[in-house]
């Protein structure tokens, strides 16, 4: 079980099969820091990582699992902006036919009320400060 058919690159955090070394060299993508690893190490670290872990490398250049780093503030803000865009898209989708019904004077009382609720929801979404992510108090959408 001490066969070494793979190398690990700590820089790329990836395994490379020795059987394809010449192909990688020809393509200019063979790593500069290959470390031969036993097949059992390859098998342990080439599958699905344990929960909340990612493949990394230790000081010895060998593979190891490390905790997934927390999202950065910028990533959290970006996620919040995407969420807001999705919520606004849904609100606009609901508002358009309700607005048409009101403008054409054919809206039911329920449709007129829903239009007002959806417009209020849309305004509240636009007031959300995404820079406070993930501590955002999202407005609650009207009943779908």
Model pLDDT for residues 131-140, shown as the tens digit of each residue: 999 999 999 9
| Local confidence band at 99 (pLDDT 50, 70, 90 cut-offs) | very high
What pLDDT does 143 receive?
80
Q: Residues 88, 89, 92, CA angle at the centre, nearest 5°?
A: 85
**Portion of the chain with pLDDT greater than 70, in percent:** 98
Whether the predicted pLDDT of 1 surpasses 60: no
Residue 88: strand, helix, or coil: helix
d(CA 57, CA 14): 9
Whether the predicted pLDDT of 144 surpasses 90: no
Whether the predicted pLDDT of 9 surpasses 60: yes
pLDDT digits (tens, 9 = 90+) for 25-49: 999 999 999 999 999 999 999 999 9
For the chain, the average pLDDT equals 96
The per-residue b/e assignment along 10-41, b for 16 or more CB within 10 angstroms, e otherwise, is beeeebbeeeeeeebeeeeebbeebbebeeeb
């Amino acid at each position: 079980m001490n066969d070494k058919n793979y190398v690990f690159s700590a820089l790329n955090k990836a395994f490379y099969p020795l059987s394809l070394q010449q192909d990688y060299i020809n393509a200019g993508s063979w790593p500069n820091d290959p470390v031969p690893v036993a097949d059992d190490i390859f098998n342990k670290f080439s599958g699905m990582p344990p929960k909340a872990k990612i493949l990394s490398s230790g000081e010895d250049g060998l593979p190891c699992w490390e905790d997934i780093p927390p999202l950065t503030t910028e990533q959290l803000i970006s996620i919040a902006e995407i969420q807001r865009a999705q919520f606004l898209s849904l609100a606009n989708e609901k508002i358009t036919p309700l607005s048409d019904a009101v403008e054409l004077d054919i809206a039911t009382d329920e449709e007129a009320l829903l239009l007002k609720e959806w417009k209020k929801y849309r305004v509240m979404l636009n007031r959300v400060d995404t820079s406070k992510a993930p501590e955002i108090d999202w407005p609650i959408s009207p009943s779908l």
